[in-house]
Amino acid sequence: MDTKDLLNKVREDNVKFISYQFTDVTGAVKSVDAPINRLKDALEDGVWFDGSSVEGFARIQESDMRLVIDPNTYAVLPWTDPELRRARVFCDIFTPDNLPFEGDPRGTLKEVLRKITAKGWVFNVGPEPEFFLFKRNGDKTHPVPHDVGGYFDFSADDEAVRVRSELIEALNSMGLDVEVGHHEVALGQHEIDFRFAEALQTADNVLTLKYTVKAIAAKYGLIASFMPKPIFGINGSGMHCHQSIFDDAGNNLFFDPKDEYRLSKLAYAFIAGQLAHARALTAIVAPTNNSYKRLVPGYEAPVYIGWAQQNRSALIRIPRFTEGRDKAVRAELRFPDPSSNPYLAFAAILAAGLDGIEKNMTPPEPLNNVNIYHLTESERESMGIPSLPGSLGEALGELEKDEVIKDALGPITYEAFRRAKLEERDGFRTAVTDWETNRYLETA
């Protein structure tokens, strides 16, 4: 869509306001809103804003930043009042010198994607973000699930189905091409999957899904949460990422009809790279203190570093091949969660895979028919199966040592991310929790 097409489209849609959107380094969506009569000027000159107060952006003396609109990301926000209809566009961030800002997460992903574009390749991602719907009961410390359903449960007519149906309709209207929505394992837990696409578009789609889910839930007086582990003792929310690399002609470069798993040498090297960098990747794809309450044995979330076909305890799973569907051959990365910034997550996982390709890495033997959770620590050591970090602090330490992932983020984004996450880690480390007072108040 070019500038003229966009101006015509907003008139056809009777849009009154435009939200110019971008994210900070943690993935929080930021917005500069303006009346529609300012759109033409914004398309020509950009939108200036003060970047000094946004996490990971400029210092005060360099605070002026310019948003450059990506017209292809235009979408009407379907929950807004027709009389005050709003639409959104995602933007790239530039400095006053008209250079791409190196701390822009969307720009960080675009920079990594240039490496495969130069090879004539396309990195496709199909994420599966999970979320909870909670009743708004005024008690954030004890969230109450919205429904009593379980995995794939069907109900002919209840509020959870109505909410999910409205969500799917809204997301389709915004261009996500939803494939399926269903109830997940835990009470109040849901998943909506949309068709895989090129990584930049997919990252935009993940953000769209998250704030659309929150907006529609709020209409029903509900809280939508993408917190990885909101309730102790039940499954948390992940964002499994199905990945493949295609060439410009639409051929799946992960596919080899002669291989046992239908995987090409390029796919094996890509998998090997992600396994080699998994401990550092964890800081990016599982970036909150709470993420490490999900990454524990016993709840389907992976903890140990390995790959397999049809083994849901493995970090990377290869879905079973269906004859004639060579484009569907892919690697499913299972440890990301939806609290991550999708731009940084996709940039990091691609960089890890590309490092495997460039160094012609070979993955270890697959962990088929092995329940890793049932192995003892010594058995895992003898089989050469390492584990993911057990805390955000440990993951940040691994990231600090990994030059490949740090280089993919770039020095400005990396330092901003590290600074934000160290502050988060220290806030958690110094907080006194209910568990501690219950355990120690009278016994210590």
Q: Which of 106, 262, 294, 334 is catalytic?
A: 334
State whether the Cα torsion 274-279-282-284 is positive or negative: negative
Helix, strand, or coil here: 55?
Answer: coil
Q: Which of 130, 204, 398, 402 is catalytic?
A: 130
Are residues 106 and 409 in contact, defined by beta-carbon separation less than 8 angstroms? Answer: no
Q: Which of 24, 193, 256, 332 is catalytic?
A: 332
Q: Which of 240, 262, 277, 330 is catalytic?
A: 240
Backbone phi, then psi, for 395, in 5-degree steps?
Answer: -65, -40
- Active-site residue flag, 300: no
Q: Which of 5, 41, 45, 50 is catalytic?
A: 50
Q: Which tokens hold the place of 115?
A: 């490496």
- Active-site residue flag, 50: yes
- Active-site residue flag, 128: yes
Are residues 321 and 230 in contact, defined by beta-carbon separation less than 8 angstroms? Answer: no
Q: Which of 128, 147, 402, 424 is catalytic?
A: 128
Look at the block and give the residue holding tokens 């790279």: 273
Helix, strand, or coil here: 200?
Answer: helix
Backbone phi, then psi, for 246, in 5-degree steps?
Answer: -110, 160
d(CA 348, CA 338) in angstroms, rounded, equals: 15
Q: Which of 147, 184, 355, 424 is catalytic?
A: 184
- Active-site residue flag, 312: yes
- Taking alpha carbons only, the member of 381, 193, 197, 358 closest to residue 305 is 381
Q: Which of 191, 256, 337, 424 is catalytic?
A: 191
Q: In a 10 Å sphere around its CB, with 0-12 CB exposed, 13-18 middle and 19+ buried, how is residue 142 labelled?
A: exposed
- Active-site residue flag, 334: yes
d(CA 351, CA 372) in angstroms, rounded, equals: 27
- Active-site residue flag, 191: yes
Encode 170-204: b = buried (16+ Cβ within 10 Å), e = exposed.
bbeebbbebeebebbbbbbbbbbbbebbebbbbbb
Give the H/E segment covering residue 436: helix 434-440
- Active-site residue flag, 66: no
Q: Which of 38, 195, 312, 439 is catalytic?
A: 312
- Taking alpha carbons only, the member of 392, 235, 202 closest to residue 301 is 235
d(CA 26, CA 341) in angstroms, rounded, equals: 6
d(CA 353, CA 349) in angstroms, rounded, equals: 6
Query: So which residues are the catalytic ones?
Result: 50, 128, 130, 184, 191, 240, 312, 332, 334
